[in-house]
Amino acid sequence: MAERSWSFSKAFRNIFSGPELITEDTWDELETALITADFGPDVSESILDELRAQVDRHHVTEVKELRLMLRESIEDRLAKFDPTLRLQERPAVVLVVGVNGVGKTTTIGKFARYLTTFDRKVVVGAADTFRAAAVEQLATWAERAGVDVVRPQQQGQDPASVAFQTVQRATEGGYDVAIIDTAGRLQTKGGLMDELSKVRRVIEKQAPVSEVLLVLDATTGQNGLAQAEAFIEHAGVTGLVLTKLDGSAKGGFVLSVQQKTGLPIKLIGQGEGIGDLTGFTPHVFAQQLVG
């Protein structure tokens, strides 16, 4: 992962490869870099205030020390949220939600593969029954990941019944994890939320839901968050997955999204390949971001 080129770290790289001593320009450039990387105005200001106070207190003069302080400040802020996935139940049921096109299906494929590398037996359920193509796409990913898939018996079957069948299969077949794909149509927000609560109610007749993961596209940054608000309000989200960080200049979104939603990031997607999903480690992320 270390050798990936993170477009969002460019902004910081310029500052830290410039003059060695801290000047007013350094602060201006740092502010611009934080805003460009989509930390959002509040977080940016708070980081700048904290660093200025520290620089004054400890009589810091060198940019390279400021860089270490920035990295620590970001890491501390990221670490206030617990990224641990809760998958203790057997089966552990994971619902994956989010608006269209953010990368839900791709994430499920990658996540399934990720879990199999930890020897988990995984089944995925295609409860996005509205589009036949969505079912096929999930089945293709399941095949790539080497896991089983539960499909609807006919197009447009009640998503809740597919979810029920997936959990049933997981229970009867001794699976460790059941991951359920859901539809992301926004046009019918009320209907979608009703559908999700029904999916949940029906699952809970058999097993508790261990995680509800909301998938967000990092390239849309703060705008994407506004779109996802209904899920945060109504879907009982327990964690976030940020996708497309490979193509994003908005790495600061990682921090602002946790603060805004109060929800931890549990997984990050960094490419279209099956291996491009990792857990979220504040230390590693802060290092990648600041360099």
Q: Which residues are annotated as a binding site?
A: 98-105, 181-185, 243-246
- Considering the rule CB under 6 A, would residue 195 count as an interface residue with ligand GTP? no
Using CB under 6 A, which of 83, 91, 184, 239 touches ligand GTP?
184
Q: Which stretch binds ligand GTP (CB under 6 A): 3-11, 36-44, 264-272, 281-289?
A: 264-272
Would you say 9 or 270 has its CB closer to ligand GTP? 270
Bridge partners (DSSP) of residue 180 are 95, 125
Can residue 243 be called a binding residue for ligand GTP (CB under 6 A)?
yes
When the beta carbons of 9 and 44 are compared against ligand GTP, the nearer one is 9
Which residues in 15-37 are b (16+ Cβ under 10 Å) and which e?
bbeeeeebeeebbebbbebbbbb
- Tell me, by CB under 6 A, how many residues bind ligand GTP: 19
Min separation Cβ 69 and ligand GTP, Å:
30
Residue 60 vs 274, nearer CB to ligand GTP: 274
Task: Report how far residue 175's alpha carbon sits from residue 121's, in angstroms, rounded to the nearest whole number.
Answer: 5
CB 269 within 8 A of CB 280: no
Shortest Cβ 179–ligand GTP spacing (Å)? 12
- Of the pair 104, 266, the CB lying nearest ligand GTP is at 104
Q: Does 105 bind ligand GTP (CB under 6 A)?
A: yes
Task: Kindly identify the residues of this chain, within the stretch 124-163, that bind ligand GTP according to CB under 6 A.
Answer: 134
Instruction: Give the one residue of 41, 101, 146, 156 binding ligand GTP; rule: CB under 6 A.
Output: 101
Binding residues for GTP: 98-105, 181-185, 243-246
Shortest CB 145 distance to ligand GTP, Å: 13
Report in angstroms how near the CB of residue 209 gets to ligand GTP at its nearest: 19
**Nearest residue (CB) to ligand GTP, 29 versus 246:** 246
| Residue in 188, 201, 272, 279 binding ligand GTP, rule: CB under 6 A | 272
246 binds ligand GTP (CB under 6 A): yes
Residue 288 contacts ligand GTP per CB under 6 A: no
